Structure 1
Amino acid sequence: MEFVDRGKEQKRLKRAFESETKKFVVIYGRRRLGKSTLLKRVITDEDVYFEAGRQETQVQISLLAGTIANLYSGFDMPLYPTWESVLTAFNKVCRENTVLVLDEFPYMVEKDSSLPSVLQHILDSGELRYNLVICGSSQRMMQHFVLDSTDPLYGRAHEKMNLRPIRPQHWQEAIHLDAVSTIEEYSVWGGVPRYWTLREEYPSLREAINELILDEHGILYGEPSALFIDEANDIAPFQSIMTALGHGNTRYSAVASAIGKKTTEISKPLNALTEMSYISKEIPFGESEEKTKKTLYVIDDNFMAFYYTFIEPHRSMLALGRTSFVMQKIGSGFPAFVGNVWERLCQTAVSGNELFGHTWGMARRWWGKASVYEDGRKTPVGYEDLEFDVVAEAIGDKNTILVGECKWKSADFADRLLAKLKAKTEKAPFSQGKNIVYVLFLKEHPLSEADCCILYPDDVLKYQPE
């Protein structure tokens, strides 16, 4: 597969390395996002790329010296007792403005916690002749290096890149899929390059899921555990919370109850999963995150959501080789699962975009109760539960609101969908006295026309952020 997207990151790195000032660059993000591949595309044959393993410090130093010796003959002949000695020696012999990449940097720090202080001393000396890059998949540790004011490397990075999953429209261009197929595939693989590369080896999505995820010999069987091990020695809290979310426990108290813990006991792992972008908080449109009591927690990584929805609950069946049973479960639940991804893509397409004559703020779901009145009565006789898929306020015009309905199913009658949406909106507390822009987000062209805006999969992919 060709290298997908990352154009902005490549430009920033090339600009940094071509500068006369030596740069310290920090790159991090979850495993399989293509961090190493990105660096290898930017550096030249005259630069040094070193990938650390989980060996003892002296072995790591020796391996780095050997890697440098491939370009600087004889560099590995002396014995370097410390990181400072080998890095200082390299500084004396290297070509001016070369690049030294220390990949899997957290593995190096695991064995020698003084290494960040060593780098601080070298960076602060003002005598550095090369550009230094540290890279790693342990998101929490890498964030600590650059965001924690108590860390020796704090405030010293010239470039900080937290690589994110690649947006679906780039996969559509790279794989040459139609919009519907792109969204279905994206619902499983997310924006992770390695997953798409593996997927490309199979003729169909179904076969790829079966061979890569369901089969106990599949390379993605047990993938979450491999990712969590990068972040902590005890991964049970992470696994338990993700399993609870996969079962539909989205409230803080429900998650704690599902895993048999007090709410105070899940705070740290829940926050850690949020920091790593595996889960996110969801609050209704118009609510303050600090004040609302309606916060929900959702899995914010498509592959993880797929895994904990369809795979983790049936691990015992998979251990028996009953892949066909699990595939049936996937088949019956997949349309609704893709529908949730479609809903989030529709929200993203609206947020910050200029559509239908307005630029919209952050689009969110809304859920809550609406008062029910009888004719002639000013006090409600009851309450009705309402939910909306997409709600956004026009920037600079608080009296205009977009209200949207997302449907990921076969063609329906648009006029009926619109009538239901209007009837529901009239009851919603956020819509009172507002100008409403109605939008239908539909998988297929409808069976009837409707007096509203309609967006289809091609449109929604086109309006995704870069």
Structure 2
Amino acid sequence: MKFVNRQEELKSLEDRYRTNKAEFVVIYGRRRVGKTELIAQFCKDKKSIYYIANKTNDFVQMQKIIDRIAGNFNERIPLIKDWDEFFKYLAEKSENRLIFVIDEFPYLMMSNKAIPSIFQAGWDEYLGKTKIFLILCGSSISMMEKGVLSYKSPVYGRRTSQLKIEPLTFERAREFFPKAGIEKQIVNYAVLGGIPMYLECFDKSNAIENIREHLLKKSSPLYEEPLFLMREELREPFSYFLILEALANGGIRMNEISIKTNMEVYKLPKYLNVLQNLGYIKKIYPVTEMTKKSKNTLYCIADNFLKFWFKFIYPNFDYLEIKQEEKVIEIIERDIDSYVGRAYEKVCMEFLIDANRKNLLPFGFSKIGSWWTRKGDEIDIAALNEETKEILLCECKWTKQQIDLNIIHDLIKKSKLIDANLTKKFALFSKSGFTEKAIKFMDENEIRHYDLKDIENLLNLQV
């Protein structure tokens, strides 16, 4: 797998490694996000032992780990009958710096519910007194959080560092397509999100051909990837599939999700909370109301790939099962621009966060999100400075038409619905640029405007 910019995570691991003290590091994140590759990069040129757990019983796994350790030290395999003896043996091998990795640690926990307690005892009695660099890694976010990170876990308080590996930002994801223009990079990101394994799949210049080859064919690993993810994490995935399909197709309020899924409203929070905890969806508020007390809340799928899959693939499995791929292609081609438009808003938001960090905006903001009313008025991006009471309001258009005066005037009109005590500034983003009249008006009124080239230039700017 191509290794793309995890410098911050690598630095964190290297800093811990240089302490030369016992370190207990937890690394977790959804499948395919690049955890194993990060660990491999970190372990380069260092004494390390790597073991990936599976679904067999814990005694068998312990014996496999012992075999791995003995092989690493070119020794005979010792006769070890229990975990206490195992940790004593591992401690003896950790008098000098040793990285010891157990990947897919949740499988080991599944094999024996006492594993967290066993590791707590092993750390307290033996490993914590050595120079071991212990890494427990897992893809089941819920099990890692409950079994390892939760204050109720026996190993709570033992870890010295934790890293939740997030999907790549657009800035990093585009590095998988260095020869593609910014427009194609945005389309690919809209379809695949920031998961390295998915990004590696697209190898053709045409997005539709990539989709046909890697998402619509039953032999492709991406064809049923979300089903696999959900079944690994969830006991009753069908209800979650319904909710994700509803979210992908415009059901963003609780009552809309209820209608689309035929599930009673009072039953939804349980499922929505689980999906939130897994990082698959987000609960969002207008940027001027970013508080849990706000009732003006919406739900959205946080991951581009899941959103694309539940919008275009899952509802059309019947066509794909009878090999009518072209019918699904027609649906995708009809709606792709509208779909990419939402992902483009995320790219523009990332652009503003980067510009904010580089002090390239008229004011620095402390909050960024969207803004809307219950009546349906909406502004794509709103960036707020709570101290100076300034707000930047942005419209993002992914269309073949240039932005004209009507779009600008509509944004200004909607801004009058926002708190009058805020000083309002405006910006517009356009895939296809702006008319001459629009540019003249924006320049005269100090309204910022950005096209795809502006986004590309900022991403290439090193500050």
TM > 0.5 between the two? yes
* Secondary structure class of the residue paired with 1:454: strand
Aligned pairs for 1:44-55 (under 5 A) are 44=45, 46-55=47-56
- The 8 Å contact of residues 83 and 115 in structure 1, kept in 2 or not, is answered as no
1:171-212 deviation line (CA, Å, top 9, x unaligned): 323421322111111001111000111223x45322221121
Residue 449 of structure 2 aligns to which amino acid in structure 1?
A: I
> What code does the residue aligned with 1:444 have?
S
Corresponding residue of 1:27: 27
Aligned twin of 1:231:
233
CA contact (8 A) 1:350 1:463 kept: no
Secondary structure of 2:5's match?
coil
Higher helix share: 2
Deviates more, 1:96-105 or 1:240-249: 240-249
Equivalent-residue separation in structure 2 for 1:363 and 1:198 (angstroms): 32
Picking from 170, 182, 186, the partner of 1:179 is: 182
Within the alignment, does 1:425 sit opposite 2:420 as a pair?
no
Matched, 1:453 2:454: no
What does residue 220 of structure 1 align with?
Answer: 222
In 2, Cα distance between the equivalents of 1:158 and 1:459?
Answer: 42
| Counterpart pick for 1:358 among 360, 363, 373 | 363
- How far apart in 2 are the matches of 1:22 and 1:327? 54
Matches within 5 A, 1:26-425: 26-43=26-43, 44=45, 46-78=47-79, 80-94=80-94, 96-125=96-125, 126-176=128-178, 177-200=180-203, 202-351=204-353, 353=357, 354-368=359-373, 385-398=376-389, 400-425=390-415
Q: Is the 8 A contact 1:117 1:153 kept in 2?
A: yes
Q: Distance in 2 between matches of 1:119 and 1:23?
A: 14
Write the distance in 2 (CA, Å) between the matches of 1:413 and 1:247: 26
Q: Aligned equivalents of 1:237 and 1:88: distance in 2?
A: 46
Amino acid at match of 1:72: F
Q: What is the SS of the residue equivalent to 2:129?
A: coil
CA shift, 1:316, in A, is 0.7
- C-alpha displacement at 1:269, in angstroms? 2.4
Q: CA deviation at 1:240?
A: 2.2
Question: How much has 1:464 moved relative to structure 2?
Answer: 11
The count of residues paired between Structure 1 and Structure 2 equals: 447
Tell me how far 1:276 sits from its aligned partner: 1.5
For 1:465 and 1:266, the matched residues in 2 are separated by 44
By how many angstroms is 1:312 displaced?
A: 1.0
1:94 Cα offset (Å): 4.1
Which secondary structure state, in structure 1, belongs to the residue aligned with residue 394 of structure 2? strand
Q: Is the 8 A contact 2:287 2:384 kept in 1?
A: no
How far apart are 1:59 and its partner, in Å?
1.9
What SS does the aligned partner of 1:70 have?
A: helix
Give the aligned partner of residue 381 of structure 1. none
- More off after superposition, 336-345 vs 117-126: 117-126
Q: Deviations over 1:419-459 (max 9, x none)?
A: 33223333x143x3543211111112222123221122344
Tell me how far 1:415 sits from its aligned partner. 3.4
- Residue 84 of structure 1, CA deviation: 3.0
> CA deviation digits over 1:14-71, x for unaligned, max 9?
2212222110000000000110111011114631000111112222112212221221
Distance 2:153 2:146 in 1: 7
Whole-angstrom CA distance in 2 between matches of 1:230 and 1:73? 37
C-alpha distance 74-233 of structure 1, shift in aligned 2 (>3 A): farther
Q: 1:128 to 1:230 in 2, by over 3 A?
A: farther
CA contact (8 A) 2:21 2:130 kept: no
CA distance in 1, matches of 2:138, 2:223: 23
Give the secondary structure class of the aligned counterpart of 1:297.
strand
Q: Return the offset for 1:395.
A: 4.5
Deviation, 1:2, is 3.6
- From the superposition, tell whether residues 2 and 149 of structure 1 become closer, same or farther in structure 2 (CA, over 3 Å): closer
**Paired residue secondary structure (2:233):** coil
* SS in structure 2 of the partner of residue 250 of structure 1: coil
**TM-fit CA distance, 1:168:** 1.1
Contact 1:212 1:219 in 2 (8 A): yes
- Name the TM-score, length of structure 2 as normaliser: 0.90
Aligned-pair identity in percent equals: 27
Which stretch has the larger CA shift, 219-228 or 285-294? Answer: 285-294
Runs of 4+ in 1 over 4 A off after TM superposition: 463-466
Mapped to 1, the partners of 2:76 and 2:261 lie a distance apart of: 54
SS at match of 2:379: strand
Give the 3 Å change call, closer, same or farther, for CA 290–465 of structure 1 in structure 2: farther
**Distance in 2 (alpha carbons) for counterparts of 1:294 and 1:52:** 44
Task: Say if 1:33 and 1:192, in contact at 8 Å, map to a contact too.
Answer: yes
Amino acid at match of 1:299: I
Secondary structure, in 3 states, of the residue corresponding to 2:312?
Answer: helix
Kept after mapping to 1: 8 A contact 2:174/2:189 = no
- Cα distance, 1:83 vs structure 2: 2.9
Secondary structure of the residue aligned to 1:397 is coil
Please, what TM-score do these two structures have when normalized by structure 1? 0.90
How far has the Cα of 1:252 moved from its partner? 1.9
Structure 1 residue runs of 5 or longer lacking an equivalent are 370-383
CA contact (8 A) 2:22 2:130 kept: yes
Q: Which moved more, 1:321-330 or 1:384-393?
A: 384-393
SS at match of 2:413: helix
Contact 1:363–1:390 (Cα < 8 Å) also in 2: yes
Paired with 2:423 and 2:47, the residues of 1 have a C-alpha distance of 61
Aligned twin of 1:377: none
Q: Quote the Cα distance in structure 2 between the aligned partners of 1:337 and 1:76.
A: 57
**Alignment match of 2:426 (pick from 432, 438, 452):** 438
